[in-house]
Structure 1
């Protein structure tokens, strides 16, 4: 298995929770994170080597990433595993899957690339690379069926992990927050590249908000020590160390549960916020050269998963130059203070939660076992 980032680690761990009891003695190895390791997964390389986003950022790390893939490919060709599972990270995994499949090794891909959003032509490459696709959104199943690619809709693991009813008071108590005052969670991203481009605008927005309401509590979860150190470095460099922010190691779900509103970088985290039924503002910044290329490649007007699933701007999105501190702060302020809006979002997100709820661990594990059996 190869998972390239924190969200992939979480998704793969859910699958492994269903697969490990059925294959208790199997060697499961490759590239993953700490949650996968909890199920006996062995890491051959650290996952953060692959956690790079943006065209030019990837190019800067191309030699190292390419070297890892080459070594892993040779190891797998020598070992001939019963199945290879690429977890998201399509730029790394699809080329590897093509080579393994051509060598007769069954390949699965867990989480469809967003071919419904951009680069739809990738489905031809996917057909070449993948013996079986596992998808997490209901509308994706038909796309693969029409392309003749074996597919299983397994629901989204987050829909099982996150409770339908949220205990906000308990989350605030766990974090030591004052129950009398409102809470804003800020999630600048788990990748170093996301933290690099999102942090200053997000923290400046926090400053505007706390200047307006000094009792407002701002909480920022950090995915790891490396991310925390880099975040602090950026905040100090921007002269924003005086902004009252509570930094929390891990526990991002607790932070979201505690919040009245969330400022979140686009990605899986925006879906997490929706499943916690929280108002949110989605924002994203990246290297300008990457943005100039990518902004012309989309097929739809949304980038946030909640908006994509609902096919409308249920929550606001601010991208690149539009993601100014003032714009972000104003949008969050509205989310904090519009009771009717909060109620509408809660209902929309509850309906979304039900649509994504399946027995993901067992459905995905069974699909893996079926692929292994079919290729014996």
Structure 2
């Protein structure tokens, strides 16, 4: 298995929670994080090596990432595992999966890339690389069936983990926050490259909000110590140390549950915020050259998962030059002040939560076991 970042680590751990009881002695290894390790997963390389986002940012690390991919490929071709499961990280995993599948190793990919939002022509590459696709949104099944790719809809794993009605009081208590008073959670991203481009604008927005209302508390969860140290250095070098931030290691779900509004980098975290039924402002900044290329690649108006699923802008998206500190602060202030909007959004997100509920651990594990079983039968026939 290969997961490339903290969200993939969490999703893969759900699959492993369903799979491990059926395969208690199996050696499950590759690249992953701490949550996967809870189920006996062994990581051959640090997951952080793959946590790079953006076209030109990836190029800067290309040689190292390609070296890891080649070394893992050679290891697996020699080992001949029963199956390979790529968890998200499509640019790394699809290339690896194609080579493994060509050699007869069954390949599964968990979490479809957003081909319905970007780079739709990628479906042909997926067809060559993937023996079976696991998808987390209902509408994705038809896309893969039409392309002739075996597919299973397993539901969105975090829809089972996140409560339908979050316990705000418990979350605030866990974080040492007062039970009353406005709280804003700030999630600038889990990758170092995301922190590099999002941090200053996000925290400058917090400074503007704090000057408007000194009672607002800001909670900033960090994916790991490396991210936390880098984030602190960015805040300090930008002269923003006076902004009253409560930086916590992990605890992103507690931070979101405790919040009245969330400023979040575009990505899977946006859907987590929606599952917690919270108002949010989705924002994203990246290297200028990457942005100039990527902004021409989308063919639908949304990039945030809650908006894509709703098929409309239920929450604002502020990208690149639009993601100014003032614009971010204004959008958050509007969400904090508009009680009617928050109530309507809560109802919309509750409906979305119900639509994504499925026993994903069971469904995904059964799909893996079926693939391994059919592979073994085919091998015995040969």
TM over 0.5: yes
User: What are the within-5 Å matches in structure 2 for residues 108-257 of structure 1?
Assistant: 108-257=108-257
- 2:302 alignment counterpart: 302
| Cα separation, 1, equivalents of 2:113 and 2:270 | 17
In structure 2, C-alpha distance between the alignment counterparts of 1:191 and 1:371, rounded to whole Å = 32
Deviations 1:126-163 (A, max 9, x none): 00000000000000000001111000000000101101
Q: Paired residue for 2:334?
A: 334
SS of the residue corresponding to residue 219 of structure 1 reads strand
Write out per-residue CA displacement over residues 283-338 of structure 1, whole angstroms, 9 at most, x where no aligned residue: 00000000000000001111100000001000000000100000000000011010
Find the aligned partners of 1:295 and 1:105 in 2 and give their Cα distance.
Answer: 36
2-side partners of 1:147 and 1:60: how far apart? 34
Alpha-carbon distance between aligned partners in 2 of 1:115 and 1:223, rounded to the nearest angstrom: 27
Deviation string 1:162-181 (CA, Å, 9 cap, x unpaired) is 01011101100111111221
What is the distance in 2 between the residues matched to 1:69 and 1:301?
34
Runs in 1 of length 4+ with deviation above 2 angstroms?
none
What are structure 1's unaligned runs of at least 5 residues?
none
Match of 2:15 in 1: 15
CA distance in 1, matches of 2:4, 2:113: 13
SS of alignment partner, residue 121 of structure 1: helix
Deviation track 1:107-143 (CA, whole Å, cap 9, x = no partner) reads: 0000001110011111001000000000000000000
- Give me the whole-angstrom Cα distance separating, in 1, the residues matched to 2:326 and 2:240: 15
For 2:7, what is the secondary structure of its paired residue? Answer: helix
Q: 1:236-272: per-residue Cα shift (whole Å, max 9, x none)?
A: 1100000011111110000000000000000011000
With normalisation by structure 1, the TM-score equals 1.00
* Matched ranges for 1:312-323 at <5 A: 312-323=312-323
The equivalent of 1:375 in structure 2 is 375
Give the Cα separation in 2 of the matches to 1:86 and 1:180.
43
Answering whether residue 269 of structure 2 is matched by residue 260 of structure 1, we say no
The 3-state SS of whatever aligns with 2:74 is helix
For 2:53 and 2:60, how far apart are their aligned partners in 1?
Answer: 11
Which whole-Å CA distance do the structure 2 matches of 1:331 and 1:363 have between them?
39
Structure 2: runs of 5+ lacking an equivalent: 377-382
Deviation at 1:85, TM superposition (A): 0.3
- 1:84 corresponds to: 84
**In 1, Cα distance between the equivalents of 2:352 and 2:49?**
33
Aligned to 1:26: 26
The residue number in structure 1 matching 2:311 is: 311
Once superposed, what is the RMSD of the aligned Cα atoms? 0.5
Please report the TM-score for the alignment, with normalisation by the length of structure 2.
Answer: 0.98
**CA distance in 2: counterparts of 1:371 and 1:180, whole angstroms:** 51
Distance 1:180 1:95 in 2: 50
Distance 1:178 1:115 in 2: 43
SS at match of 2:199: helix
1:93 aligns with 2:93: yes
Counterpart Cα distance in 2 of 1:249 and 1:31: 22
Deviation string 1:159-215 (CA, Å, 9 cap, x unpaired) is 011010111011001111112211000000000000000000000000010100001
Q: Distance in 2 between matches of 1:349 and 1:180?
A: 23
Q: Matched residues in 1 for 2:293 and 2:350: separation?
A: 35
1:269 is aligned to 2:269:
yes
Counterparts of 1:19 and 1:148, CA distance in 2: 26
2-structure distance, mates of 1:194, 1:299: 23
Distance in 2 (CA, whole Å) between partners of 1:122 and 1:54 is 17
